[in-house]
Structure formats: structure tokens, C-alpha cells
Amino acid sequence: SPGGILYPDFSSYAWPESECPSEAVGSHVWARAAARISSRASGWQEKSEQLFWRGAATSSYRKQVVPDIAALPFANVSVMTWVVGSAGQRQVVSSGDNSCVPIDEWCQHKYLANLPGHTMALALKYRLLCGSVVVSSPLMYHEWYYSQLKDQEHFVSVDFTWSSAADVLAALRGNPGLAEGIGARAREWAESHLTEDGFDCYWLQLIRLAQQHFPAPQLSSASLPIEAVALGHGHHALEGPLEVPQRQRMDVITVIPARAKDVELMDYARSTWL
């Protein structure tokens, strides 16, 4: 959104609420999920011709468009249901026969639909790893890595109502070399960038950039160095005020979601690979 700073969301570490009942606890920790998808993804010739999608009815848009997508030839599309479990956490249950499909099994299909929910589709990064063609609604809400993805190179877009989907899919099926190439490039890009090291690299560059733009902290004589508290240097660390010199630049230790007032920072984040 205007004024927002793009950063990796929680699912870049783990998304336990999206685990199917048949999956082991911890299956959707990102590193585990990515490794399993990469190791089990079918070769192009072994994939089915189906257009596949599973997701929750998290928006009126999905509720409106899913029935039309499900009516397309060779479509395997259905909605999953979120419930609140006994421990008070959200979890997925099946709303029909085999409706909740483990994410590594998504890769058995050549075409994977991508639909925004309330905002962005968090599962796009799983789909990119499959080596399948991601067929996507317009990307109305952007995550931090979307600027690197190119239509017809890493995914294929359709119109908002999916009225063009039948023609788009027919063209892809009529040119299997083109379709296979799009899936392969998406997978190669995802395996190179959507990694734990990639996430850490992005955070590091974002923090460095923020350090250059946010004002220096206003410290008083009662201020304590963060090291004194975080590292627990005994009770004497809290016995009285310490003299802490004013620093020219801010040491950013924790980044929280915020709206930035600095236009240069926002433009830099949007237009570059940080």
C-alpha cells in the first residue's frame, strides 16, 4: 500500500495453520516445505494436464471466481475450510473429499491457479517452486519479491474475472515447450531467491537502508546501552544512569511494521532488489 515497507511475512518462516490434517506438525516450516517440494516435484512429462488450486474462501473475490474456474476443462479446484481447533489456533479441515492436499502434491499438476485472498496469496511462493506454470489473477497486492517476477517468464496472468483463462490454458497446452520453460524458470528463480539466506539478505539490506534514513535516537542521561540489558551484565548494569554518547546514525535492532514518511526509502524498496 502507499507508504508501506515491504518485508517477508510470517509464512517465510512457518505457516502451521495451513497444514492439512494428514501432514505432520511442522510440515509448513518454510525450509522443510521448500526442501520437500524441490525433492518431490514431478518432471514436466509426469505432471497431469489439470489446472489445480486449493485455498480458503478468505475473500468475496474467491467466492465469486472459484466456481467459474472449477468449471474450466481439466480443472481440479475446490475450497478448504478454516476452523478454530481445540488449542484455540486456526487450522484447515477438508470441506469435501480430499479437498486439503499437501503442498508437495500440488506439483503433480502442470498448471497452478493463483488467487488473491484478503490481500496477497501467501501460497504463491510454494507454487513457484513446483516447476509448474502459475496462472495468476492480476497481482493487486504486492509482496517484497513480486517486482522480480515477470509475466510470461515466471508466471502467466489472466484477467480479473478469469474469462480469458480457457484461451490462455489452450495456448499453453498447444505449446508445451513454452509452458515447460515458464515453469522451469519460475522454479529456478524461487530456489535461488526464496531461501532462508535470501530472506536474511533482504532483511539485512532493509535494515541498512533504514539506518541511513531514520533519525538518530534522542538519548538522555538515563539511557542504557541495549547491550547492558540484552546481554545481562549483572545487576550493576541497572544501578544508575550511564553516559551514552549521541550517535550520528541509528543502530536498528528491531524492525516492526510501520508506515514510512521518507519517500526516498519507499521508492528504493519498491524499485530495487534489496
Between 209 and 85, the more confident residue is 209
> Chain-wide mean pLDDT for the chain?
80
* Domain membership flag for residue 111: yes
Q: Residue 84: which domain range? A: 10-196
* Domain membership flag for residue 262: no
Q: Whole-prediction pTM value? A: 0.76
pLDDT for residue 268: 53
pLDDT for residue 18: 84
* Domain membership flag for residue 204: no
* Domain membership flag for residue 19: yes
User: Helix or strand or coil: residue 67?
Assistant: helix
Between 31 and 267, the more confident residue is 31
Between 209 and 34, the more confident residue is 34
Split at pLDDT 50, 70, 90, the class of 274 is very low
Q: How far apart, in whole angstroms, are the C-alpha atoms of residue 3 and residue 26?
A: 34
Taking CA 252 as the corner, what is the angle to CA 249 and CA 253, rounded to the nearest 5 degrees?
145
Per-range mean pLDDT, top range of 39-43, 92-96, 180-184, 241-245: 180-184
Residue 210 is given by DSSP the state H
pLDDT for residue 267: 56
* Domain membership flag for residue 271: no
Query: Nearest-CA neighbor of 54 among 34, 23, 76?
Result: 76
Split at pLDDT 50, 70, 90, the class of 262 is very low
pLDDT for residue 205: 86
Query: Nearest-CA neighbor of 91 among 21, 5, 194?
Result: 21
Q: Helices 196-213 and 263-271 meet at what angle, rounded to 10? A: 160
Helix, strand, coil percentages, rounded to 5, for the chain = 40, 15, 45
pLDDT for residue 159: 96
* Domain membership flag for residue 268: no
Q: What is the pLDDT of residues 83-139, one digit of tens each?
A: 656 665 556 665 555 578 999 999 999 999 999 988 889 999 999 999 999 999 998
Supply the CATH number for residue 140's domain: 3.40.50
> What percentage of the chain exceeds 90 in pLDDT?
46
> How many folded domains does the chain comprise?
1
Q: What is the mean pLDDT of residues 28-51?
A: 93
Q: What is the pLDDT of residues 149-192, one digit of tens each?
A: 999 999 999 999 999 999 999 999 999 999 999 999 999 999 99
Where helices occur in the chain by DSSP H, the ranges are 30-40, 60-70, 103-106, 124-128, 165-174, 176-193, 196-213, 226-230, 263-271
* Domain membership flag for residue 255: no
pLDDT for residue 5: 76
* Domain membership flag for residue 167: yes
